[in-house]
Structure formats: structure tokens, C-alpha cells
Amino acid sequence: MNEEKAETIDVGGNAIAVRHRSGKAPGVVWLGGYKSDMAGTKADTLDRWAADNGHAFTRHDYSGHGESGGRFEDGTISRWLNESLAVFERFTDGPQILVGSSMGGWIALRMAQELHKAGKGERLAGMLLIAPAPDFTIELMEPQLTEAQRRALEEQGYFEEPSEYSDQPNVYTRALLEDGRKNRVLTGHLETHCPVHILQGMADPDVPHTHAQKLVDQLSSDDVTLTLIPDGDHRLSRPQDLELLTRTAAGLVALHGQGRA
């Protein structure tokens, strides 16, 4: 990652760290996952690919993540969505490809809705979703909650569970779950009005490939491609996964160049 100090913008009282490199359109906007930061392997790989090909690249840390200010426990989908939209408006110009990983896929889909609502749908050149987890609080978490977790949410407002990806436990708050219901996208029919390419591992222990298929089914009116990786996990950060990631990004860029985006 570029070692220069990140720029910051104030969004809702939190300093949001942003790294942006100018370049040609379509630009690429990275949207990370829950408790991830913008210094991850996939983001770095895409940044290098964009630099090598002259494309603009923008990434940021949500509040409570990475280099940004704020408390992680105060985060909700709405808060992180608003931060992502603020970064998009401030740092990007022209058509952009949104690349959302895990929860970032949910943020990307909500961004598409909000941009179209604001009459800015032409800013979307495409969407690349990696193990997307839209509505994960409702669809994937709530049905699996134990009685102890439900009691913790009710009595203390949060519960913790060990993370496979960090020494620190994952924290899930009642506010996150309640706000998730307000941001549902898997409600029947979902339009992005741009090409969407989904990369999904079939050995993903966190987001089952059936969840990606459900998303595809609801994106039926859009140009949608689902690529299933039989032995792929949730991270999709192996060399072959990263090569597929950049190849897919290049494909969306080419599609935009053909005027299909």
C-alpha cells in the first residue's frame, strides 16, 4: 500500500481515512468487509492493478476500522454507508466500478440504490462483489443466534464471539442488527442498472454460496455473472483468487468501454 499518510474527511464527527489516486475512468472504489481495513491483500492487489493500467483507485476505512476515527461498537450499516457515499462524492469523478468484499457488497448495493435515488446512477460503471454478504445480520446471523447471545443483546446491547481472522473478538451490537433491518436489499427485486460480477467460494464458512445465488435471483433484470470457486474460502486471497479478481475487474472495464455499462 502507498505509505503516504492517508487523507481524512469528517463524516458525522468521525475522521474517515481515505487513500485516493487519480487516473482514468472508470475508476475503482474499494469497499471492505466487517472489521476489515483498506490495507488488505485484495485491496492492495486491485490498487496495483489499477495503477499499472492507469485507472483511478479510491479506498477508505469505515469509522472504527483501520486508520479512521470513531468506535467500532458505534458502527451500523447506515453509518458506514453514509461514510462511503461521502468518500465517493468527495474523491471520485465520472463512472466508477464499486468493488465490495463481504459486508462491502451490502454497502455497494445500498450505494447503488442511493445514487440512483439522487439521480446519479450514471456514476456506476459496474459492480464486483466478492463473497457478498447483503442483509447478513438478518439472513445469516439472526437465525443462528443462541439464547445466550439473544439475552446479551437484550441486557447489555451486544455480544462477542471469537474471530477466525483476528486476535480480537467480533462484536455485534443490538444497534447493528436493528439498523440492518432498515437497510435490507434482498426483498424481492433489486436493480443496480449496471453489470454485476460476483465471485463466491463454495467452501466459504461465513457466507454460503446459496446466499450469492439468492442475490443473483433478485438481480434478474441486470447483467449478472456469478463465478463459483469450488475450493474458495471467504477471503479469496490466494494467488489464483487474486488473479481472478484482477481479471474480473479488467472485464468490467472492457464492458464499460463497449458501452454496455
150's torsion region: left (phi>0), alpha (psi -120 to 50) or beta? alpha
Q: Is 2 a domain residue? A: no
Of 28, 34, 31, 38, nearest in space to 7 by CA: 38
How far apart are the C-alpha atoms of 171 and 196, rounded to whole Å? 30
Q: Is 28 a domain residue? A: yes
Regarding pTM above 0.85, the answer is: yes
8 Å CB contact between 95 and 161: no
Q: Is 1 a domain residue? A: no
Bridge partners of 171? 160
CATH of the domain at 51: 3.40.50.1820
How far apart are the C-alpha atoms of 1 and 28, rounded to whole Å? 15
- Residue 2: is its pLDDT beyond 50? no
Q: Which domain holds residue 173?
A: 7-257
List pLDDT tens digits, range 40-66: 999 999 999 999 999 999 999 999 999
Residues in the chain: 261
List pLDDT tens digits, range 126-172: 999 999 999 999 999 999 999 999 999 999 999 998 888 778 888 99
How far apart are the C-alpha atoms of 252 and 237, rounded to whole Å? 20
Residue 260 has a pLDDT of 52
- Kindly provide the b/e burial profile for residues 217-228, where b requires at least 16 CB atoms within 10 angstroms of the residue's own CB: ebbeebebebee
Place of cell 459496474: 126
Residue 3 has a pLDDT of 54
For residues 48, 50, 53, 55, the Cα torsion angle rounded to the nearest 10 degrees is: -150
Residue 222 has a pLDDT of 76
Q: Is 91 a domain residue? A: yes
Domain count of the fold of the chain: 1
